[in-house]
Amino acid sequence: MTIFISGGGKSGKSAFAQRAALSLSGGGARYYVATMIPCDKEDRERIARHVADRAGMGFVTLELGRNIEKCLDLADPGGTFLVDSVTALLLNEMYPGDHGGDADPDALRRCVDGLLRVAEGAGNAVFVSDYIYSDAIRYDAFTEKYRADLSAIDRALAGACDTVIELCAGNVIVHKGVWEG
């Protein structure tokens, strides 16, 4: 089964995704595919919170800030993969160096192709993304490109996944498929 989870910042997406992955995996192998490459103290603190939140759940952590499909080569592809998050993955693919310079124009294709390979090749997969593109504010060219690419990735994943869930204000909204976990 494949599940796509989206929602605003601090909406509980990661905790929900962990519970979903546990439910899907049964007693099988479970992998937490961590995509954030920390840039500062805040990032490191966020990662530490996520690690603490999943302690004792039996996840093997795979740190892949880029080339997400490699998770299938590093683990049992028949297991359950929790990819957290698509949002960080895109930034890493757009700016593979020190986040300076021009965005890699091939990042969108690499992300979509890699994520769809995971969706197709994993026993189960849960994808987490941030819903950051619904306001009416006009941003600089970099931010608009990032938001447009993230929305394209999210649409591709929503189309490919069995279940699509949005977390909003403490509510779980199932937009596609079913979820009873």
Domain that holds residue 128: 2-135+143-176
Asked whether residue 181 is assigned to any structural domain, the reply reads no
Q: How many domains does the chain have?
A: 1
- pLDDT of the chain, 181 residues: tens digit per residue: 999 999 988 888 999 999 999 999 998 999 999 999 888 899 889 889 888 888 899 999 999 999 999 999 999 999 999 999 999 999 999 988 765 678 899 999 999 999 999 999 999 999 999 999 888 899 998 899 999 999 999 999 999 999 999 999 889 999 999 998 7
Q: What is the Cα–Cα distance from 93 to 106, expressed in whole angstroms? A: 8
Residue 147 resides in a domain: yes
pLDDT score recorded for residue 39? 81
**Domain at 27, CATH number:** 3.40.50.300
What sign for the dihedral angle of Cα 62, 36, 107, 126? positive
H-type alpha helices, the chain: 13-25, 41-53, 71-74, 86-94, 107-121, 141-160
Q: What is the pLDDT of residue 100?
A: 63
- CA dihedral 109→112→117→122, nearest 10 degrees, is 160
Q: Is residue 42 part of a domain?
A: yes
Q: Residue 54 has what pLDDT?
A: 86
The pTM of the whole model exceeds 0.85: yes
Rounded Cα distance between 65 and 89, Å, is 6
117 torsion bin: left (phi>0), alpha (psi -120 to 50), beta (else): alpha
